């Protein structure tokens, strides 16, 4: 009977060690999976942030191009008006010189 009790205790200790080892393995597996999942999430977040930054940069470039085109058009219009005014002033100056000569 004592021998049976000792054997039962040994069997129980062995089973406890097996359960403990199994729990440690499962815990290590869970930690590894969590680590991998965190790395994947981080990678995905970085990729999304990079995409958002590229989209924002593209939008900024497009907006800058539009503003540049508008500024060029305004400058061309202003240059045309200035040329027209210069032509008028030149004509008036020539007429003035002609009038003085006559």
Q: Point out the least confidently predicted range of 30-34, 35-39, 82-86.
A: 82-86
Which two structure tokens, joined as six digits, stand for 93?
């100056």
Residue 76 belongs to what H/E stretch?
helix 2-101
Residue 83 has a pLDDT of 93
The sign one gets for the Cα dihedral 47, 51, 52, 53 is: positive
Model-wide pTM > 0.75: no
From residue 18, give the alpha-carbon distance in Å to each of 24, 27, 28, 102: 10, 14, 15, 124
**C-alpha of 69 from chain center:** 26
For the CA atoms of 12, 18, 22, 27, what is the dihedral angle to 10 degrees?
70
Q: What's the pLDDT tens digit per position in 5-23?
A: 889 898 899 999 999 999 9
């Amino acid at each position: 009977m004592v021998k049976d009790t000792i054997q039962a205790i040994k069997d129980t200790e062995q089973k406890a060690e097996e359960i403990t080892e199994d729990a440690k393995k499962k815990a290590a597996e869970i930690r590894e999976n969590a680590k991998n999942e965190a790395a994947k999430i981080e990678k995905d977040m970085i990729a999304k942030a990079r995409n958002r930054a590229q989209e924002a940069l593209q939008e900024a470039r497009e907006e800058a191009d539009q503003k540049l085109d508008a500024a060029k058009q305004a400058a061309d219009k202003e240059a045309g008006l200035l040329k027209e005014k210069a032509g008028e002033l030149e004509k008036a100056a020539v007429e003035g010189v002609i009038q003085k000569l006559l």
